[in-house]
Structure 1
Amino acid sequence: MNNSTKYSKGNPDGGLTPITSPWMKHLLKNQTLISELFDKYSSPINIHHLPTFSNTISSFKKIFDDYGLKYQIFYARKANKSKSLVKQAFASGIGVDTASFKELEQSIALGGNGQNLVLTAAIKTKEQYELAIENDVAIVLDNKDECQQAESIAKTLNKKAIIGIRVSGFIVEDRKLYSRFGFDIERVEQFISANFGTGRHYENLTLKGLHFHLDGYSTMQRGKALSDSISLIKTLNAKGFNLSFIDIGGGILMNYLENEHEWTDFESNLKSAVIKNDNQLTFNGNGLGYEMIDGKLKGSLKTYPYFNRVNGTAFLKEVLDFTNLETGKTNAQTLKELQLELRIEPGRSLLDQTGMTVARVAHRKQDAKGQWLVGLEMNMTQMMSSSADYLLDPFIIYRDQKESSTPVDVFFTGAYCLERDLLLKRKINVPHLPQIGDIVAFVNTAGYMMHFFETEAHLFELSKNLSFSVTERTSFLDFVSDELVE
């Protein structure tokens, strides 16, 4: 078999064309290599390119360095469970944000410590507190109960717990931003003043900074929240506290798509199809958040915003350049003046272009509506986030190249015994019907798509995770299974 294989993008005449890195294109051309990986690891396989991850880390570091700021970057591990990325994060000089006992335990075993780890779990157990406190890992506390638990455990261990306080409830454009997480910023100053410090209630908690994480992706909201947090730290430090950092969490937008027009056209066409009650763009007319109620279009697109002009480091720059109208100074200027350390916890945006998921075709069939369903050796949880659909066109690698073929519309289905196990809800046009054993590749899946909701229902094996570092002349031996990373 020729080692160089032609591959085809789904929806070749438009669709939603993903940005695709050279390393991805190199693999897509090498069907023999991917087939060897399937023979060893079965289907599906998640593939991670570590140099891409490192390069993205470097780009974020450069922004902070250009501003002359004190900073620390924590990779949000919840976005992807692969141990190889944790090792690479440490090797690239950044930390890791952990959100569970096992994430923290593994990260410590992989080289993490009190200088490069943080625990931000939404639910914290006794074991989590103990492990973090014993290893001097900072803990972000969300409420009074957590403060009390951390205090009690720190006292029992005869240790000081390093903590940050999560805040929320910022007022932006006369509207209070709701979050189920954190202390209300309008009340937290009084709470800290009354309970922290020598002789106070939480004398075993060493308060080092503030933390927030906003819902949504507004740089203006984040800029205002950072500005308000700076003001709060100034007030607290004037009272004798010594807070040294502000952590603004993640939520940094990334851009998946090559073409803005494809994105706007897709949403426009979807709304039009829902209005006309003739939605043939998605499986069984799924509106992906849009629906007609009393003759009017209601709802909104319940997916990630896949095209974004302001993304990555440009997104962060807008937050840093936000100007406090009272002082006339930007966030970056004030942070530098006060020598405050700015911390971020990106997950998705640090993993941009780092991973892809490949799966084999198991069968083809036509349903009662005449729709072609192409079943893959994977299930919907192995490419699922909180988004209503993954709006990127997949790539198809055909084993047998045909000089002439008949294009066909297909839906890709998964292995769970559920009517809704659709890997993509969008209808995908392909050059010709895939055969059993052909390969379907989904690119840029490392951030939240591979593992976030992955389950072992039906006792299916979890997907295999591989990493590699070379780009050209790649061989089977260059890929390392995550099970072997230590």
Structure 2
Amino acid sequence: MTNLPKLTPITSPWMHELMEEKTVLNELLEKYGSPINIHQVDTMEKNFNSYQSVFEEFGLKHKIFLARKANKTKGVVQKAYALGMGIDTASLREYTQCLEMGIEASELIITAAVKNRQLVEKAVHHGSLLILDNEDECDLVQTVAKDQNKKANIGFRVSGFFLNEKKLYSRFGFDLLDIDNFITANFIESDKYHLLEYKGLHFHINGYSIEERRFSLAQCLAFSQLLSKKGLKTEFIDIGGGILMNYLNNESEWDYFNQQLRKAIGEKTSEITYENQGLGLEAVGGVMHGELKTYPFWSPVSKGDSLREILSHKPHSNESLGEIAKNLQLEIRMEPGRSMLDQVGLTIAKVAYRKVDSKGNRLVGLEMNMTQMLSGSADFLLDPFVIYQTDEVEEPVEVYFTGAYCLERDVLLKRKIGLPKLPMVGDLVVFVNTAGYMMHFFESSAHLFPLATNLIWNRTTENGKISSTHFQNDENL
């Protein structure tokens, strides 16, 4: 094998079971085209229980909402609802589709960054909770509620929290220093928004810091007590999403990759990324600048353990945040997306060609494009799997996987990948754990390429055999 850093992903038995079924996968790609996304939604139950058990440990009233924006499929929504979760929707279409699927309006919340009148009208009509971000949204919801002659359920998104005397920036929400005066003037001392029924507080924290979420929750708890003294009852505090999860098997591999990336950028070893990209890092005059702009694919705490670290924090006394919330009889809500979809999906693409570029790099072109496995992360730092159609033994190779867009930057993984042998045209490449924010979030159909088909695998077998008939097109659910 090559000496490139490995990043071995955590995988589930269902993934390996499926990857053994070469004939079935070839049939699916022949029928639906390349790439395809395959989902095993039963895996969501383990993720749900990871959070549920922590809330029960603290004796907290709670509600978990799936962040629908993380994945487009109806299958994950149906499974979340069956588990007892609510759904966090971020657009009119997401909200409408959930209603059409038979999900109760009371189980839906709307956190959309932009709420147009049609979305607000539908939410107010059905009585779903709207998380409001600014005064203009308050005006719009008040107007719609007046037109419909009914009250609207609302919560306030709050931002501008303080951590060690530094203010955390977010473009979302009412500033913490301003919202008290705003609520006092418009909800307590006047009836300007008399049709807006205040229910609770919500925050969105960029990134994945546990410490920032601790301080934000602590400040929301304190603010809820201030509102209570003014006669305004807070029913819930929603801590949003961004809860850490772990993608990788081995911390030492993660550390070694980071070390080798820095050496490569500093030209102390051969490049390990396409065009020696630093993924947020840059060497200037021999000095390293910047920071890795990828998801923290290795994390020592994950899912429920992350939530426990937030709720266990003791800000000022012997009481933890969880205990304070319980004593205040507050419901704690959260909106996991990525972590609720851990181990739920994979993306499979067919090899279209192999070539050597003008720099001597081996490129393996796949029948997919960069938007079909793309998030805000500078790279998806998991080793893919290759399903070879033949068993011929060849020499190990180092390759870059490239996509179908007419763009120089359509390189599917920026990282150079070491393989036991060069894939042939028609071989399959499998990217695992892509269900959360990877396969759908930036997906586009430029060049008039169709979007990838999403399949739901129910894992039923006949005589112990897997058949292509066991995979259902999500559009038909």
3-state SS of paired residue (2:350): strand
Q: Is residue 45 from structure 1 mapped to residue 11 from structure 2 by the alignment? A: no
**1:46-79 deviation per Cα after TM superposition (whole angstroms, max 9, x unaligned):** 1110110122112211211221110010000111
The match for 1:464 among 453, 457, 471 is: 453
Tell me which residue corresponds to 2:474.
482
Tell me which residue corresponds to 1:267.
258
Tell me which residue corresponds to 2:173.
182
The match for 1:133 among 121, 124, 127 is: 124
The normalised TM-score by structure 1 is: 0.95
Once structures 1 and 2 are overlaid, which stretch shifts more, 51-60 or 156-165?
51-60
Does the aligned pair in 1 maintain the 2:89–2:108 contact within 8 Å? Answer: yes
The structure-2 alpha-carbon separation of the partners of 1:154 and 1:408, relative to structure 1 and needing over 3 Å to count, comes to: same
Does the aligned pair in 1 maintain the 2:35–2:453 contact within 8 Å? Answer: yes
Question: What amino acid does structure 2 have at the position aligned with 1:463?
Answer: A
Tell me which residue corresponds to 1:363.
353
Unmatched tracts of structure 2, length 5 or more: none
**1:439-473 deviation per Cα after TM superposition (whole angstroms, max 9, x unaligned):** 00000000100010000100000001011232764
The structure-2 alpha-carbon separation of the partners of 1:71 and 1:11, relative to structure 1 and needing over 3 Å to count, comes to: farther
Q: Is residue 85 from structure 1 mapped to residue 67 from structure 2 by the alignment? A: no
Hey, what's the Cα distance between the residues in 2 that align with 1:65 and 1:476?
A: 40
Hey, what's the Cα distance between the residues in 2 that align with 1:319 and 1:468?
A: 35
Does the aligned pair in 2 maintain the 1:361–1:377 contact within 8 Å? Answer: yes
Tell me which residue corresponds to 1:25.
16
Hey, what's the Cα distance between the residues in 1 that align with 2:182 and 2:270?
A: 53
3-state SS of paired residue (2:430): strand
Hey, what's the Cα distance between the residues in 2 that align with 1:341 and 1:273?
A: 49
3-state SS of paired residue (2:407): coil
Once structures 1 and 2 are overlaid, which stretch shifts more, 206-215 or 235-244?
235-244
| Runs of 4+, deviation exceeding 3 Å | 10-14
Tell me which residue corresponds to 1:348.
338
Question: What amino acid does structure 2 have at the position aligned with 1:67?
Answer: F
Tell me which residue corresponds to 1:382.
372
**1:258-293 deviation per Cα after TM superposition (whole angstroms, max 9, x unaligned):** 000100110111111111265510111111111122
User: What are the within-5 Å matches in structure 2 for residues 54-133 of structure 1?
Assistant: 54-133=45-124
User: What are the within-5 Å matches in structure 2 for residues 235-246 of structure 1?
Assistant: 235-246=226-237
Unmatched tracts of structure 1, length 5 or more: 1-9
Aligned CA RMSD, in angstroms, stands at: 1.5
Does the aligned pair in 1 maintain the 2:265–2:271 contact within 8 Å? Answer: no
Does the aligned pair in 2 maintain the 1:86–1:110 contact within 8 Å? Answer: no
The normalised TM-score by structure 2 is: 0.97
- Residue 215 of structure 1 deviates from its aligned partner by 1.3
Does the aligned pair in 2 maintain the 1:377–1:415 contact within 8 Å? Answer: yes
Question: What amino acid does structure 2 have at the position aligned with 1:338?
Answer: L
Q: Is residue 409 from structure 1 mapped to residue 385 from structure 2 by the alignment? A: no
Question: What amino acid does structure 1 have at the position aligned with 2:415?
Answer: R
Tell me which residue corresponds to 1:421.
410
Question: What amino acid does structure 2 have at the position aligned with 1:142?
Answer: D
Once structures 1 and 2 are overlaid, which stretch shifts more, 342-351 or 62-71?
62-71
Identity %: 50
Tell me which residue corresponds to 2:429.
440
The structure-2 alpha-carbon separation of the partners of 1:88 and 1:277, relative to structure 1 and needing over 3 Å to count, comes to: same
Hey, what's the Cα distance between the residues in 2 that align with 1:374 and 1:444?
A: 21
3-state SS of paired residue (2:182): helix
**1:123-142 deviation per Cα after TM superposition (whole angstroms, max 9, x unaligned):** 11011101111111100000
Does the aligned pair in 1 maintain the 2:66–2:337 contact within 8 Å? Answer: yes
Once structures 1 and 2 are overlaid, which stretch shifts more, 475-484 or 251-260?
475-484
Question: What amino acid does structure 1 have at the position aligned with 2:144?
Answer: I
Question: What amino acid does structure 2 have at the position aligned with 1:427?
Answer: K
Tell me the number of residue pairs that the alignment of Structure 1 and Structure 2 aligns.
474
Hey, what's the Cα distance between the residues in 2 that align with 1:417 and 1:12?
A: 31
